[in-house]
Amino acid sequence: MKKIVDGRGLACPQPVIRTKNALEEGKFSELEVIVDNKPASQNVQRFAENMGNTVTEILQKAGNYHVIIKTDSKVVEKIEKNKPKISCPDAKIIFISSNILGKGSQELGALLMKSFLYTLTQLQCKPKKLILMNSGVKLAVQGSEALANLQTLQKDLQILVCGTCLDYFGLKDKLAVGSVSNMYEIAENLTGPDKVLTL
């Protein structure tokens, strides 16, 4: 028996979640997932394969991608076992060493940073920790445009803020989110087992 999941017009990671739900329901031998963009088809393929299924083909029809999945009867068990985990890669530490993102325009950099932090709040797979250093600490103090986003993120992850840097900028009593940290803790985190992404 065949089942069809229509993931067209859905934002990432919805097509993957719908595929997961369909695979959990089971009761078919072949699942066809329709999505309207290539990255989504690849995400669905990766998810299905990670769960032990076989993707027999990806057909391109009228600008859509049809991912054909042959299911494995053991899959349902596997998914049940892994239920709390969504297929997120190992969570990273993000080291933010400036209040602006990238080099070039100060104005653009500040907006990109704010917009990046907002986007993190929307991600299914969030990083594990944010470490703020040098002017990066300015993001976490009263009056910061990015404060609301960091406060939302703090519900899911740890925010470490360089105490020396707060002191240098005279912002020690203005810290509004995260916990004050020191070079020892920061260095341990950067050299520890987790992957670090530096901005």
Using CB under 8 A, list all residues that contact other proteins. 9-12, 14, 107-108, 111, 114-115, 118-119, 145, 148
Q: Which one from 12, 88, 162, 165 is the annotated catalytic residue?
A: 12
Smallest gap, in angstroms, from Cβ of residue 23 to other proteins? Answer: 17
Long-range contacts of 149-155 (CB under 8 A, 24+ apart): 149/114, 149/117, 149/118, 149/120, 149/121, 150/117, 150/177, 150/178, 151/176, 151/177, 152/121, 153/117, 153/120, 153/121, 153/126, 154/178
Residue among 9 and 63 whose Cβ is closer to other proteins = 9
* Residue whose CB is less far from other proteins, 78 or 126: 126
In the complex, minimum distance from the CB of residue 31 to other proteins, in angstroms, rounded to a whole number: 19
Write down the least CB distance from residue 7 to other proteins, Å.
10
Residue 12 a catalytic site member: yes
Q: Which residues are catalytic?
A: 12
